Amino acid sequence: MNVYLSVDIEGITGVVHGDMMTADGREYDRGRRLMTGDANAAIEGLVQAGATYILVNDGHGPMRNLLIEELHPAAHLLMGSGDAKPDCQLEAADSTTFDAAVFVGYHAMARTFQAIHPHTIAGAAVSELRINGRPHGETGLNAAILGSLGIPTVMVTGDATTVAEARTFLGERIETVSVKEARGRNAAICRPPAATRPEITAAAARALANRDQVQPTVPEQPWRLEIDFLTMQQCDRASRTAGIERLGPLSVLVAGDSPWQQYRNLWAGLRSALYEPAAWLA
């Protein structure tokens, strides 16, 4: 059995602040170790349940956070910059390879209250992302894209609010582990790794063993995929990308022949939106 394991950092055990999430942060090294620890806990459970190939995609910021020296030997690690990965947090997730997907360290969608660093893909640019009019975060969106390939997402870990979001989108049959309870965007009541990691391992083993009970979740196609940006400059830049159609000062429609193509166009549009021109062009 082959499993796609997407890992982010905001929903990792003990990570509450930007200090641990960004490369220039004072405690980034601790954040990376904690991220690797939660990923390893999930990998161990997947191995116990019979996974033979596990692809771990480092999906946070520079996408070079997980420490390969400390990674579980059963895993393969997809690491490298987001600009070089046209499919971003879902790079290399093809339908013929994977039987199930697991999300570790995920965070709540943009505009969520009582969640650690809630945002949708690019917090600096995206105000809201909608599929068929419904706001989606990374959990709902990524699971929907994988679902369109026939891959069910069977487990999500993160803060309590993220876990609730995951259940709203993916149903009650998925496995979840809440590793902390946010008190605000930079503060949470946390449980230590010694408590959360065994839970993550057990949940991952159950999730894979019971994967047949979870159906892939796919919104009705074709998708109307819309994004609202925070600034008009971002919307200007994104609108020049192929597959992006402007709807208004801050909003675009993301076209594509399939959800997968729409996701690819979305990521290209966001990369343009985040592009900073040279001073003489600004």
- Which residues make up the interface to Zn ion (CB under 5 A)? 8, 60
Of the pair 211, 271, the CB lying nearest Zn ion is at 271
Residue 64 CB, nearest distance to Zn ion (Å)?
13
- Cα separation, 186 vs 19, whole angstroms: 10
Q: Whole-number minimum distance, CB 58 to Zn ion, in Å?
A: 10
Cβ proximity to Zn ion: between 49 and 66 the closer is 66
Smallest separation (angstroms) from Zn ion to the CB of 35: 10
Of the pair 106, 260, the CB lying nearest Zn ion is at 106
Q: Which is nearer to Zn ion, 51 or 126 (CB)?
A: 126
What is the 3 state secondary structure string of the chain? CEEEEEECCCCCCCCCCHHHCCCCCCCHHHHHHHHHHHHHHHHHHHHHCCCCEEEEEECCCCCCCCCHHHCCCCEEEECCCHHHCCCHHHCCCCCCCCCEEEEEEECCCCCCCCCCCCCCCCCCCEEEEEECCEECCHHHHHHHHHHHCCCCEEEEEEEHHHHHHHHHHHCCCCEEEEEEEEEECCEEEECCHHHHHHHHHHHHHHHHHCHHHCCCCCCCCCCCEEEEECCHHHHHHHHCCCCEEECCCCEEEECCCCHHHHHHHHHHHHHHHHCCCCHHHC
Q: Angle 94-68-160 (CA atoms, 0-180°, nearest 5)?
A: 70
Which one, 60 or 85, has the nearer CB to Zn ion?
Answer: 60
> Which lies closer to Zn ion via its Cβ, residue 60 or residue 180?
60
Residue nearest Zn ion (C-beta atom): 60
Q: How far is the CB of 13 from Zn ion (least distance, A)?
A: 15
Count of other CB atoms within 10 angstroms of residue 237: 22
**At closest approach, how far in Å is the CB of 163 from Zn ion?**
16
21/29 Cα distance (integer angstroms):
9
At its nearest, how many Å lie between Zn ion and the CB of residue 185?
13
Q: Which is nearer to Zn ion, 37 or 219 (CB)?
A: 37
- In the complex, minimum distance from the CB of residue 22 to Zn ion, in angstroms, rounded to a whole number: 10
